[in-house]
Structure 1
Amino acid sequence: MPGEARTAVAASRSPTAAAESTAVVHDHITDAIKAPALIRLGDNVVLARFETMKVYAALGAVRTLLRRGRVVPGQTLVDSSSGIYALALAMACHRYGLRCHIVASTTVDSVMRAQLEVLGATVDQMPPSRNLKLDQERRVRHVRKLLAARPDFHWMRQYHDCVHYVGYREFADLVTGTLADVPLTVVGAVGTGASTGGLVQALRETGRAVRLVGIQPFGSVTFGSERFSDPEAIIAGIGSSIPFDNVRHELYDTVHWVDFRHAMAGAVGLLRQHAVFAGLSTGAAHLVASWETDRDPDRLHLVLGADTGHRYAERVFARHTEAEDMRALRPRRIRALDELRPPWSVMEWARRPDPGNSRLDRCPGEDSADTAGHVSSTEVTP
């Protein structure tokens, strides 16, 4: 076992034991579920397994907007979501006396929709689509129609407003207080960019040496795989068919592109090997981290597990006999995007900016100027 990783894992044991011996009574469910369970998967691998990771994003954003006076109690917050952000936003609205309206992806299942409606959210769900791009474009168009009819609604813009970075500073504090200050690699799905970007930006500001490994599905425009199609892909939270301003490309050291079958192998492998029932993006992250740790065993690896596996029960876990053995899978190593190929490719991104945008923005901290009223050009494209 590498010396630095051994030290980091040992350092994490004492806070964990203390937490287990101290019961806490929370004032609201969001406080109880926002922090992840930290689970040791190996000598130099720790999984941060969330019930829904975006509670950090939603709470941080709502609190900041209320404090700045951008929204007021009783107002309706609206946004588009493929699932876990919708639930997080509905819970944040429940906590702070706000109304919630969700424009839901076709991938939102009946269980998730029922939770949203019982929480008081109103839901407009998109019809079945041929692909993720059409689903996302429909959602954005529908949100804009709602705003035209109801200017009193506040669009949360989880894809574009970097107020969603704010909440992950609290997660960074948890990581700093739990894992020893050794070289760290964070492995997680890119998605909107806020979770991986917000966590790593906050950690690097402390002076910590942190590598960021991002995961994308084939078909996502975010890191240039839009020319590919993955018919089975249901990983709406990992990639995007439209540009997201909240993705800061210059934060990422390495990018992996993973197809559905490989993500499925990782999710089934995680349950089989570690008894952890987690979502498809977590499965992809587990697969990628397994390869990364073999390549760089002297670093501690933190794997982000965004949600549980419940919404993937039928389309992933019920098909567990079809899953490949993740231990036999290896990525294709590429040096340029024109070499990209399914089912699994990896490239050293080396913190380069978005090739389609010369901007080098940094998401502001909690006390920076408000950006909530800004409408970017990417929002009006669809």
Structure 2
Amino acid sequence: MPVISASHEFDVSDLFVNLQPFFGRRLFLKVEGFNFAGSIKLKAAREMVAQAEAAGALGPGSTLVESSSGNMGVALSVLAASRGFKFLCVTDSRCNAVTRRTMESFGAEVHVITEPHETEGFLGARIRHVKALLAADEKKVWLNQYLSAGNWMAHYRTTAPAIARQFPDLNVLIVGAGTTGTLMGCARYFRERRPGVRIVAVDSVGSVTFGEPPATRHIPGLGTSVRPPLLDESLVDAVVHVPEADTVRTCRELVRHGFLFGGSTGTVVTGALGWLSEQYGDGVGGVSDQVTAVTISPDLGERYMETVYHDEWVRNSVGSEGLAQGVGSVRAGAEFAAGLEAVSG
């Protein structure tokens, strides 16, 4: 057992859940929620803060500012408390109350944007607010997770190598797309070292990341209303878009097996199961049993008690179909194919 003196030093990096007993598919889930920030975002936060400190941009008297739908804000709140600098998070009304209170408990100041930008949604409105804060105070420093190389580099250095060590026979890596830091870091690593591994991105319906039309989204984490500057589509072999009702159904199926995960996990597991079924079929004992696939769970489910796991919220936000039992991706093949977009890579 490690002995630490700073909260950001602890992170469980080698925990995987075998989903085959539940879903009949050789799919493994890398669990990233066991650290003091509660999510995979702690890795990128550490890397970006270290780069800013090394460059002299972040120092005594600085106030760190970042736009976040939740998890990056919590991760930077943890780092700020540990390292002794101030932090201001710009989030929006989709960020749940538990996450906001968590950031404030660590001493962060939280600004909540309540009106989306007319063409760039809540993310566009948040970024404009950040830029206004920077213009008004030269001591405020923006890491800019949407553009910082530290965002993808953290996963190139940590997440991808951990997967490679555990699964020397890996065939497919399936990664959720938000800022695309995790996706790009893992994709670059495997393109360089194991180019035969297929990289599949999972996005939410309504996200513009891969050129789809914008639509209202209720679950924070994956998806964007502004195309991420970090994204390089040449590193991605296929893209799956998942409706939020399916996300909820898969989260609730997982919790029936004793695993309480966050909304992004429901999305990536849904997308992974659907894509694998589309590519390799459902037959037991066939080629599908020879394919090793890994996907990544960004966080656990405690912060989603009033959303994904709250029946009234689900009915009002994503519809009553989100309450139906069963995995979200178990749909007719033609229906699933309509949400599947292949891209070159």
Whether TM-score is above 0.5 comes out as: yes
**1:186-211, Cα deviation, whole Å (9 max, x unpaired):** 21211101011112212332235321
d(CA) in 2 for partners of 1:38 and 1:131? 41
Distance 1:67 1:164, change over 3 A: same
Residue 27 of structure 2 is matched in structure 1 by: 45
Q: CA RMSD in A?
A: 2.5
SS in 1 for 2:271: helix
Which residue does the alignment assign to 2:132?
145
| Alignment check: 8 A CA contact 1:90 1:121 kept | yes
Q: Secondary structure at the match of 1:257?
A: strand
Superposed CA deviations along residues 162-183 of structure 1, whole A, max 9, x for unmatched, are: 221121111222223322x223
Q: Which residue of 2 aligns with 1:328?
A: 330
Q: Per-residue deviation at 1:65? A: 2.1
* 2:298 is aligned with 1:285: no
Q: How many angstroms does 1:293 deviate by?
A: 3.5
CA contact (8 A) 1:34 1:53 kept: no
Whichever residue aligns with residue 322 of structure 1, its letter is: L
Matches within 5 A, 1:353-364: none
Using the TM superposition, give the Cα deviation of residue 25 of structure 1 relative to its aligned residue in structure 2, in angstroms. Answer: 2.1
Contact 1:100 1:121 in 2 (8 A): yes
CA distance 1:36–1:323, shift in 2 (3 Å): farther
Tell me how far apart the structure 2 counterparts of residues 92 and 254 of structure 1 sit (CA, whole Å): 35
**Residue 76 and residue 212 in structure 1: after superposition, are their counterparts in 2 closer, same or farther (change >3 A)?**
same
Residue 97 of structure 1 pairs with residue 84 of structure 2:
yes
One-letter amino acid of the structure 2 residue matched with residue 27 of structure 1: S
- The answer for the alignment partner of 1:309 in structure 2 is 301
**Aligned CA distance change for structure 1 residues 332 and 97 (closer, same or farther; 3 Å):** farther
Contact 2:240 / 2:341 at 8 angstroms: preserved in 1? yes
- Using the alignment, how far apart are the partners of 1:310 and 1:234 within structure 2? 17
Identify unmatched segments of 5+ residues in structure 2: 34-38, 281-287, 315-321
Q: Deviations for 1:317-357, whole angstroms, at most 9, x for unmatched residues?
A: 233882342263245489xxxxx95xxx1122122xxxxxx
1:125 corresponding residue in structure 2: 112
2:205 aligned to 200, 218, 229, which one? 218
- Bigger drift between 205-214 and 105-114 goes to 205-214
Aligned twin of 1:27: 5
> What is the CA-CA distance between 1:81 and the residue it aligns to?
0.6
Q: TM-score, normalised by structure 2?
A: 0.83
Question: What letter is aligned with 2:136?
Answer: A
Q: Report the alpha carbon displacement of residue 33 of structure 1 after superposing the two structures with TM.
A: 3.4
AA matched with 1:346: L
User: Could you tell me how far apart the structure 1 residues matched to 2:192 and 2:56 are?
Assistant: 28
2:186 pairs, out of 194, 199, 203, with: 199
Q: How does 1:1-382 map to 2 (within 5 A)?
A: 23-33=1-11, 35=13, 37-42=15-20, 44-51=26-33, 52-127=39-114, 133-168=120-155, 169-179=157-167, 181-207=168-194, 209-227=196-214, 229-230=215-216, 233-272=217-256, 274-294=257-277, 295-296=279-280, 297=288, 298-319=290-311, 322-326=323-327, 328-330=330-332, 332=334, 345-351=339-345
Cα offset for 1:128?
Answer: 5.8
Q: Which runs of 4+ in 1 moved over 4 A?
A: 128-133, 330-334
Mark the CA change 1:333 to 1:160 in structure 2 (over 3 Å): closer, same or farther.
Answer: farther
Q: Tell me the distance in 2 between the aligned counterparts of 1:305 and 1:49.
A: 5
* One-letter identity of the residue aligned with 2:63: T
Instruction: Provide closer, same or farther for how the CA distance between residues 73 and 317 of structure 1 changes in structure 2, counting only shifts above 3 A.
Output: same
Alpha-carbon distance between aligned partners in 1 of 2:201 and 2:223, rounded to the nearest angstrom:
10
CA distance in 1, matches of 2:325, 2:149: 38
Conserved in 2, the CA contact under 8 Å of 1:183 and 1:208? no
What do the CA deviations read for 1:245-295 (whole angstroms, capped 9, x no partner)?
Answer: 0122111111111111111122112222x3211111111111122233343
Contact 2:117–2:125 under 8 Å retained in 1:
no
TM-score (norm 1): 0.76
Compared with structure 1, are the counterparts of its residues 314 and 123 closer, same or farther at alpha carbon in structure 2 (3 Å cutoff)?
closer
What CA distance in whole angstroms lies between the structure 2 residues aligned with 1:121 and 1:218?
Answer: 31
Q: Deviations over 1:188-239 (max 9, x none)?
A: 2111010111122123322353211111222222112225x34xx3233211
State percent identity of aligned pairs. 24
Work out whether residues 90 and 119 of structure 1, in 8 Å CA contact, stay in contact via their aligned partners in 2. Answer: yes
Contact 2:241 2:271 in 1 (8 A): no
Q: Distance in 2 between matches of 1:269 and 1:166?
A: 33
Distance 1:128-1:332 versus aligned 2 partners, 3 A rule: farther
Question: How far 1:130 sits from its partner (Å)?
Answer: 9.6
Partners of 1:119 and 1:201 in 2: CA distance: 34
Distance 1:222 1:75 in 2: 32
Q: Secondary structure at the match of 1:177?
A: helix
Structure 2 Cα separation of the partners of residues 177 and 306 of structure 1: 19
Aligned counterpart, 1:3: none
1:145 to 1:39, Cα distance in 2 relative to 1, 3 A: same
Q: 2:259, 2:2 → 1: CA distance? A: 24
Inter-partner Cα distance in structure 2 for 1:130 and 1:63: 32
CA distance in 2, matches of 1:54, 1:131: 28
